[in-house]
Chains A and B, each alone.
Chain A
Amino acid sequence: MFDFLTDASQLADVLGTALRLSIPLIFAAMGGLLCERSGVFNIALEGQILFGAFGAAVGAYYFGTPYMGLLIAIAFGALSGVLLAVLGVTLRVNQIVVGIAIILFAAGFTSFMSRLLFPGGGNSLKLNGFENIDIPVLSDIPVLGPVLFSQNGLVYGALFAVIAVHFVLFRTRVGMSIRAVGESPAAADAAGIHVFGLRYACVIVGSSMAALGGAYLVLTQVLLFSDNMSAGKGFIALAAIVLGRWQPRIAFMACLLFGFFDAVQLRLQFDQPEIPFQVFAALPYLVAILALVGLMGQANPPASVGRPYDREMR
């Protein structure tokens, strides 16, 4: 049943699959985490992945290069971030409602526009994507070499995003301000921190990051756009943030965990035809629940997350 764990080439395949399935989750989780640390719920991650995927397809299709795809994906993500920030931070609309609105809008907008912009619909595209980069020497290591050191730029980008978010949040002055704004915006305001400016910045940067998750799907994994291709990844990223207790490093590991179990379940299914496949499909979520209950104890979200700040309120 677990023979793939002992066979080197099969193990490399499973781990490669796990990493590829985790990358969109990692981008989205890091983006969402940044927003929530600044005190803004971003449940629109699902829609932002979709926007990113769509933007990447538009850029790569009309300009013929994946770099333009990346740029337009980021632009779409940033725009959705602006929308979330204007409504959820400035106009103080309920951030959950705004998030759901963005998800629904993204689904409708992208599937409508993809029919207008791509001949024959998005799923007949063959876009120019990013090639894998083999890092010399390291990529020759058995098992780990092909998994870790023979990937494309966006995979390294996702790993860099984790380090960057962690570094900014916990090693810089700005990061401390962000966390302060997420915990107690009134106190931060009194200390001279620009609450609205920081929240806008975090939401826009975080949303762009989530969009990169969609760009990854289009520019490296499947090279085409299909309706609803985010397929629930944004929601799993939200779970990863909670599971990771709003810590970038733990959230990153949670994403890898989800990706790994998704890969393993694809594997276990056809080794065990007598067990219903739904059992394996539910496996990652079961693991998430167990991890939440068993390992994590009480989760402590940023104290002011989801509460729009109003200077006049006491």
Chain B
Amino acid sequence: MRRQLKSAAFAAVTAAATLIALPATAQDAPRVAAALPGIVTDKAFNENIYDGLVAIEDKYGSDIAYTENVSQATQVEVMSDYARRGYDIVIGAGGEYTDAAERVAENFPETTVVVPNGAPTPGVTTINYNNPEFGYLLGVVAGGMSKTGVIAALSAQKFAAFDNVVDGYRRGFQSVQPDGEVLVAYTNDWADVALAKEAAYNLISKDADVLMPYLDGAWVGVVQAAQERGAHTVGILHESESNLVSARLDFARALMMAADLYAEGKLEPKDYVIHLTQDEQLGDFNAIVPEEVQAMARDAIQKIKSGELTFD
């Protein structure tokens, strides 16, 4: 009897505690969950998305959740699970989630499915930086620094966002070195550091002297190879001191924008494009970048902001 009383009392206390705890997550605070292709400590894309989640938690007191290392085969399941558990915003982090996101959005109309860096898809909210603009800036800097007239870009997979970055990168590079060549290589693995390093060695031996890794954890391998063989890197998904300069595709900021819109009830299933509007979207220059090259990049930013240079 005493034991029963005890457990009844325990249950009552738990229930009361739950009731008290509830108001802490305010009614309109969106519950946000993300499926990530990699790990939140990769100092690149995944970490950036994670930072966005934390920022939303700080601002709105939201309940946030995430799953790391979600493979292509389990994307739909992981995202559906979050939708079923009542998360308001479910994020498929990266362009490779577009197909899965479309299916989840169809099955869970109550849920807002967000794909940063995704191709425009019916029913899905995609948020994209205007990739060619950022690629262009890096291309201009590479053009000012390359001695061989050959630069390179590396990714794990071929997809729209990367292609667009490379288009801008090439255009920017050729605006400085009209006969310049841009090599592109794919490693098929976002996290294989050793393979990325070997791929970078090979690009360097094909005369590339500025490399742009568009990778998750594996970017470190590219930076190592460049340092060993006297080449340079420019950053787009990761920022590091060894880069000549990094374009800041700040997806944490993009997610915050989505959360703000959601809180106002204005987040729609459409493609949001973030343009280059602020100078600090290009990071700090490495000290080895000469002043005239920095000036060229700043000039390009002005031209893009004023609409003199467009990429549509």
Task: Please indicate whether A and B come from the same complex rather than being unrelated chains.
Answer: yes
Could you list which residues of chain A lie within 8 angstroms of chain B, going by C-beta atoms? 9-10, 13-14, 16-17, 20-21, 24, 111, 115, 120-121, 123-124, 217, 221-224, 226-229, 231, 262-263, 266-267, 269-270, 273, 276-278, 281
The residue of chain B having its C-beta at the shortest distance from the C-beta of A269 within the complex is B185
| B194 contacts A by Cβ under 8 Å | yes
Provide the bound-state CA to CA distance between A269 and B221, in Å.
19
Which residues from chain A contact B201 at a C-beta distance below 8 Å? 13, 16-17
Question: Is the CB–CB distance between A276 and B158 below 8 Å?
Answer: yes
Residues of chain B from 94 to 120 with CB closer than 8 A to chain A in the complex: none
Stretch from B137-145, B202-210, B274-282 at the A interface: B202-210
- Selected from B158, B203, B224, the residue in CB contact (under 8 A) with A223 is B224
Question: Is the CB–CB distance between A222 and B224 below 8 Å?
Answer: yes
Provide the bound-state CA to CA distance between A222 and B42, in Å.
15
- Selected from A16, A123, A217, the residue in CB contact (under 8 A) with B217 is A123
A-B pairs with CB below 8 Å: how many?
A: 96
Known A120-B41, A229-B193; 9 more pairs at CB < 8 Å: A111-B69, A123-B217, A222-B197, A226-B191, A226-B217, A266-B187, A266-B202, A269-B184, A277-B185
Question: Is the CB–CB distance between A17 and B69 below 8 Å?
Answer: no
A-B contact pairs, 29 of them (CB 8 A): A9-B205, A13-B205, A14-B202, A17-B198, A20-B194, A21-B198, A111-B39, A115-B41, A121-B42, A123-B42, A221-B194, A222-B193, A222-B224, A224-B193, A226-B193, A226-B220, A227-B217, A228-B191, A231-B192, A231-B194, A231-B195, A262-B195, A263-B198, A266-B195, A269-B184, A270-B152, A270-B183, A277-B186, A278-B188
The residue of chain B having its C-beta at the shortest distance from the C-beta of A282 within the complex is B188
Which residues from chain A contact B158 at a C-beta distance below 8 Å? 276-277
Could you list which residues of chain B lie within 8 angstroms of chain A, going by C-beta atoms? 38-39, 41-43, 69, 152, 158, 183-189, 191-195, 197-199, 201-203, 205-206, 217-218, 220-221, 224
Which residues from chain A contact B188 at a C-beta distance below 8 Å? 277-278, 281
CB distance from B119 to the nearest CB of A (A): 18
Question: Is the CB–CB distance between A267 and B202 below 8 Å?
Answer: yes
- Selected from A14, A228, A231, A266, the residue in CB contact (under 8 A) with B199 is A266
The residue of chain A having its C-beta at the shortest distance from the C-beta of B206 within the complex is A270
- Residue of A9, A263, A270 with highest tally of chain B CB at under 10 A: A270
Question: Is the CB–CB distance between A217 and B41 below 8 Å?
Answer: no
- Selected from B152, B194, B205, B224, the residue in CB contact (under 8 A) with A217 is B194
Which residues from chain A contact B217 at a C-beta distance below 8 Å? 123, 226-227
The residue of chain A having its C-beta at the shortest distance from the C-beta of B186 within the complex is A277
Which residues from chain A contact B206 at a C-beta distance below 8 Å? 10, 270
Which residues from chain B contact A229 at a C-beta distance below 8 Å? 191-194
Question: Is the CB–CB distance between B195 and A269 below 8 Å?
Answer: no
Provide the bound-state CA to CA distance between A24 and B266, in Å.
52
CB distance from A180 to the nearest CB of B (A): 38
CB distance from A288 to the nearest CB of B (A): 16
CB distance from A190 to the nearest CB of B (A): 47
Provide the bound-state CA to CA distance between A121 and B193, in Å.
14
Question: Is the CB–CB distance between B185 and A270 below 8 Å?
Answer: yes
